[in-house]
Amino acid sequence: MKDHNLKSGAYYMKNLLENLEKKSYKIIKEEFDNLNLTSKEDKEYLMEELLKDKRKNVIALGNKIKKELDALEKEKIRVKGMYDFDRGFAKGNLLAGVDEVGRGPLAGPIVSACVVLDLDVLDEDMIYYLNDSKKLNKKKREELAEIIKEKAISYAIAEKSNTEIDSLGISYCNNKVFLEGLEGLNVKPSIVLSDGYLIKDVQIENKSVIKGDTKSATIAAASIIAKVYRDNLMEKYGEQYPEYGFESNVGYGAQKHIDALKEFGPTKIHRMSFLKNIL
């Protein structure tokens, strides 16, 4: 194996490539599956070495890496477009993105998150896979939520309980969590982007973006943080009220939830104003 600047995590790659031509495919595949390379440079180097092999199944492993690298390049272009979208509104100033989750469920709070990202980072420091939180699986959302919290200039979460929704109305609470999310930031943005509709009584410039969580990096980040926070909360309620399936339906009107309401009645986290046509 020629000299190569192996980075952390690439020790097993070195072992895999030593005497590669003498190893059986079974051994190569086992070692390949145990790799956890994070460096693009290491992945490209491994790909090139595997593609030099004469065995079709070993070459296929090299092509698998090539496919992953091509997909990552497409993802970089997509996310760069989201950062560029926000920069177009920010014009060099601080920009916040806000989104909510939990407007429609029968139980639990409505939650918003407000996020300010550094929009001037280098491409390699952008947060990849930002998207509408509903388009991401649970594991990916949770991973991204931690990355967003770590990299954000500032973020805040706000919520209104089911009792506040019943007494004040869902529209008022929806708008209020947006305002409180903004107020919870430790920086003051010049503009806030909201998903779908404008925020009432906001004191800074506000632009609404249709399907904003697929276009704006900051709105997508807010969408992810808000959903992870609320889903985790509803999972805890699922332990407290196991009959209703909150851990899977997160308070929405799934059949198990409806059946439990009719059999056991509402809990203290149900929105009574949402149950008029059910009970």
CA distances 204 to 86, 95, 179, 238, Å, are 16, 10, 11, 39
Instruction: Supply 61's token pair.
Output: 């492993």
Residue type, position 42, single letter? D
**Residue 100 assigned ligand-binding role:** yes
Rounded CA gap, 262 and 275, in Å? 11
Q: Which helix (H) or strand (E) holds 51?
A: helix 40-51
Cβ-contact 34, 51 below 8 angstroms: no
Q: Distance (Å, rounded) from C-alpha 119 to C-alpha 178? A: 21
Judge whether 118 is annotated as a binding position: no
Query: For residues 80 and 123, is the Cβ–Cβ distance under 8 A?
Result: yes
Pairing verdict, β 191-195 and 95-101? parallel
The reply to whether 146 sits in an annotated binding site is no
Pick from 277, 270, 207, 182: nearest CA to 234: 270
The vertex-98 CA angle with 93 and 102, nearest 5°, equals: 175
Q: Are strands 205-209 and 191-195 parallel, antiparallel or unpaired?
A: parallel
CA nearest neighbour of 161 among 173, 145, 153: 173
Three-class DSSP category at 99: strand
Binding positions are: 99-100, 195
Binding positions for a divalent metal cation are: 99-100, 195
